[in-house]
A and B are shown apart, each in its own frame.
Chain A
């Protein structure tokens, strides 16, 4: 064997050994310890990287959860499933968030709410709100350009023929992105157990509301009267009725309301994922357009 081959092999071999040794030492000295639970928690979350929790991606939330700085219920799309899995992984008691759903608190569609001008700008609610607040006469009502529907990462919102967004409760994860997008704060998250909500956010005086919208709350106070609501759950504050999520005797108020402002949600059949329309018991009030189609 030529000595050249021998020397080459020896030199390279020695270099390889020395560098390998260095790598091994540095690997120990500068090791970044990764909590093995982070991986597990991250995969238990919804894995959508939607950003709803406020962290940059699921992994960042997982790290925060393991470090005790965040809770699994912050992962809205993950829901109870994620909370249960994370609790199991970390050996903690599962704390379930109250399931919520987005509701659209305006029923003033094209046919019932007046326009005050023709809007010619960008078809986007936030932009419209920047220049003279769009075309609708009601200053509180839905602008109807679908910024919320465009922002929903789950496809749970769509614009109907009336120009109002409709929530598909089956798809809604209550992430709240639409709530932040709407320049008029019309969409709200309510507990899924709450069966009734007010389809109007106008705090204008009754006379003004009547001028611009046929289905706006005029704060007439009928729903708050003891005859209609014996439990006294409703009080009128700043021209809108307020009531607790667990308001039980709402049927009469919903029927008596002259503007038909109350929207009764369809109850969710137990044991199934939300939104099984056909089997849903309980009705909607007459003329209610909020009942979503399947």
Chain B
């Protein structure tokens, strides 16, 4: 069988063998959590608790502040100690609620729906929203917004993303193997909430056990088709996944809803299932801890707000030779300056890389080899955009389509001159948005 895929892309070393076979372990209850308020794309929620207040696990501690915003819940039971800025993994500081745990982990959330598959789609969307479900792949976009497209746009399929194309990461892989039934149940809920009769679960072919487990679970449910995808990065990027599975291309500047699709991560599907069937808010997630700098790599079910350091300590400690600590995968993740940042809803992995695992060479001038053009999954010309960026000609970068760059880093990976383009591209996007210019 020919495996489905998209145009362009690269084949970085997977390095998933360190954790792929390791079952998800439940991390120790943290003594203290710092839960950042803004864990969703859109508006920041507003605190609903005050210092000194007692909270139970799963209780709402911050309320959504607008349509594109979701509530935040306590991830342990205990006492609110502080509300203020703390270092966050996305860089800099942001407001967070600090809870000192009492070790009791008292349940503070309500009941689920008796029969989610018969529930009103509106009720499902409301449950998903109040449970604080956002995209767990990393973008943290509120799930209920994606499922309710603006008037005039009609969805016809749900795509559940189990590609997990980033090297090192195996959290989604383990979720699919161990919780295939929940993934499928979550997919059914997503279909009902979005009002569609068709769903695909895209899985890269390097995870045969996940494909088998999901296929077995999906056989009973109607309209769900597991799809084996070619192993290629960035197979799990939204637009690339849509192109690979349903063969539609999302136009520049448009959303998946414009081609009738909605993409959700497998972890998100499980969170959706837990939200509607058990009433359980999103206060824990599966995180891969891996890389040469970690004593004992593994996959953990961990509470939101747990410090990176806590989880690294349980994973056999962080090697002093660690050259780089990353949240997320090595391709698109965010480098960290400290272990004292909390795990957030978008933390798919914590990767500690040794010097030998990083290709940090000196930048040399571009020799126009054109490799970046071949691999760019968005069909852009990174070399030309880079040239415009170097000159500070943001308009030209915009005309070359820098706004469509998904920052996957494929061009950086293949660059023979060791150039790091993405930062400049991000700068160009910022400058263009500041100018408020129309799309070129």
Which residues of A come within 8 Å of B, CB atoms?
116-117, 120-122, 124, 126-127, 130-133, 135, 137, 139
Q: Which residues on the B side are within 8 Å of A116 (C-beta)?
A: 337-338
B335 and A117: CB pair below 8 A?
yes
Q: What is the minimal beta-carbon distance from B42 to any residue of chain A, in angstroms?
A: 20
Q: Which residues on the B side are within 8 Å of A122 (C-beta)?
A: 420, 423-424, 427
B360 at the A interface (CB under 8 A): yes
A132 and B360: CB pair below 8 A?
no
Q: What is the minimal beta-carbon distance from B201 to any residue of chain A, in angstroms?
A: 33
Q: Which residues on the B side are within 8 Å of A132 (C-beta)?
A: 90-92, 334-337
Given contact pairs A122-B420, A122-B424, enumerate 13 new A-B contacts (beta carbons under 8 Å).
Answer: A116-B338, A121-B420, A122-B427, A124-B427, A126-B430, A130-B423, A130-B427, A131-B334, A131-B335, A132-B92, A132-B336, A133-B91, A133-B92
**Selected contact of B360 from candidates A117, A120, A133, CB within 8 Å:** A120
State A98–B150 Cα separation when bound (angstroms): 52
Q: Which residues on the B side are within 8 Å of A121 (C-beta)?
A: 420, 423
State A137–B337 Cα separation when bound (angstroms): 9
B93 at the A interface (CB under 8 A): yes
Q: What is the minimal beta-carbon distance from A20 to any residue of chain B, in angstroms?
A: 44
Residue of B nearest to A120 (CB): B360
B426 at the A interface (CB under 8 A): yes
State A135–B336 Cα separation when bound (angstroms): 10
Q: Which residues on the A side are within 8 Å of B337 (C-beta)?
A: 116-117, 132, 135, 137
Q: What is the minimal beta-carbon distance from B39 to any residue of chain A, in angstroms?
A: 17
Instruction: Identify the 6 closest CB pairs spanning chains A and B, nearest first.
Output: A117-B337, A132-B91, A116-B337, A127-B427, A133-B91, A133-B92
State A142–B91 Cα separation when bound (angstroms): 16
State A137–B336 Cα separation when bound (angstroms): 12
State A117–B423 Cα separation when bound (angstroms): 17
A127 and B91: CB pair below 8 A?
no
Q: What is the minimal beta-carbon distance from A181 to any residue of chain B, in angstroms?
A: 11
State A172–B424 Cα separation when bound (angstroms): 29
State A92–B426 Cα separation when bound (angstroms): 48
**Selected contact of B426 from candidates A117, A131, A135, A139, CB within 8 Å:** A131
A139 and B92: CB pair below 8 A?
yes
State A278–B423 Cα separation when bound (angstroms): 44
Q: Which residues on the B side are within 8 Å of A130 (C-beta)?
A: 423, 426-427, 430
Residue of B nearest to A183 (CB): B430
Pick from B360, B423, B424 the residue with the most CB of A within 10 Å: B423
A127 and B423: CB pair below 8 A?
yes
Residue of A nearest to B327 (CB): A132
State A124–B423 Cα separation when bound (angstroms): 10
A127 and B424: CB pair below 8 A?
yes
Of residues 381 through 430 on chain B, the ones whose CB sits less than 8 Å from some CB of chain A are 420, 423-424, 426-427, 430
Binary A-proximity of B367-392 (CB < 8 A = 1, otherwise 0): 00000000000000000000000000
B93 and A139: CB pair below 8 A?
yes
Q: Which residues on the B side are within 8 Å of A137 (C-beta)?
A: 337
State A211–B59 Cα separation when bound (angstroms): 34
State A285–B166 Cα separation when bound (angstroms): 54
State A123–B335 Cα separation when bound (angstroms): 17
Q: Which residues on the B side are within 8 Å of A127 (C-beta)?
A: 423-424, 426-427
State A124–B389 Cα separation when bound (angstroms): 12
Pick from A121, A122, A124 the residue with the most CB of B within 10 Å: A122
State A127–B90 Cα separation when bound (angstroms): 15
**Selected contact of B91 from candidates A120, A124, A126, A131, CB within 8 Å:** A131
Q: Which residues on the A side are within 8 Å of B92 (C-beta)?
A: 132-133, 139
15 A-B residue pairs with Cβ-Cβ distance under 8 Å, sorted by A, are A116-B337, A116-B338, A117-B335, A117-B336, A121-B423, A122-B423, A127-B424, A127-B426, A130-B427, A131-B91, A132-B91, A132-B92, A132-B334, A135-B337, A139-B93
Binary A-proximity of B312-340 (CB < 8 A = 1, otherwise 0): 00000000000000000000001111100
State A246–B335 Cα separation when bound (angstroms): 45
Residue of A nearest to B422 (CB): A131
Q: Which residues on the A side are within 8 Å of B427 (C-beta)?
A: 122, 124, 126-127, 130
State A81–B191 Cα separation when bound (angstroms): 71
Binary A-proximity of B342-385 (CB < 8 A = 1, otherwise 0): 00000000000000000010000000000000000000000000
Q: What is the minimal beta-carbon distance from B36 to any residue of chain A, in angstroms?
A: 15
State A133–B423 Cα separation when bound (angstroms): 12
State A130–B433 Cα separation when bound (angstroms): 14
Of residues 179 through 213 on chain B, the ones whose CB sits less than 8 Å from some CB of chain A are none
State A252–B427 Cα separation when bound (angstroms): 44
Q: What is the minimal beta-carbon distance from A231 to any residue of chain B, in angstroms?
A: 33
Q: What is the minimal beta-carbon distance from A116 to any residue of chain B, in angstroms?
A: 4
Q: What is the minimal beta-carbon distance from A56 to any residue of chain B, in angstroms?
A: 14
Q: Which residues on the A side are within 8 Å of B426 (C-beta)?
A: 127, 130-131
Q: Which residues on the A side are within 8 Å of B430 (C-beta)?
A: 126, 130
Q: Which residues on the A side are within 8 Å of B93 (C-beta)?
A: 139
Residue of B nearest to A150 (CB): B392
State A116–B91 Cα separation when bound (angstroms): 12
Q: Which residues on the B side are within 8 Å of A131 (C-beta)?
A: 91, 334-335, 423, 426
Q: What is the minimal beta-carbon distance from B157 to any residue of chain A, in angstroms?
A: 35
State A120–B93 Cα separation when bound (angstroms): 21
Of residues 58 through 97 on chain B, the ones whose CB sits less than 8 Å from some CB of chain A are 90-93
Residue of B nearest to A115 (CB): B337
Residue of B nearest to A121 (CB): B423
State A89–B327 Cα separation when bound (angstroms): 63
Residue of A nearest to B340 (CB): A116
Residue of B nearest to A122 (CB): B423
State A124–B93 Cα separation when bound (angstroms): 21
State A178–B182 Cα separation when bound (angstroms): 55
State A162–B334 Cα separation when bound (angstroms): 28
Q: Which residues on the B side are within 8 Å of A120 (C-beta)?
A: 360
State A120–B423 Cα separation when bound (angstroms): 11
Q: Which residues on the B side are within 8 Å of A124 (C-beta)?
A: 427
Q: Which residues on the A side are within 8 Å of B90 (C-beta)?
A: 132
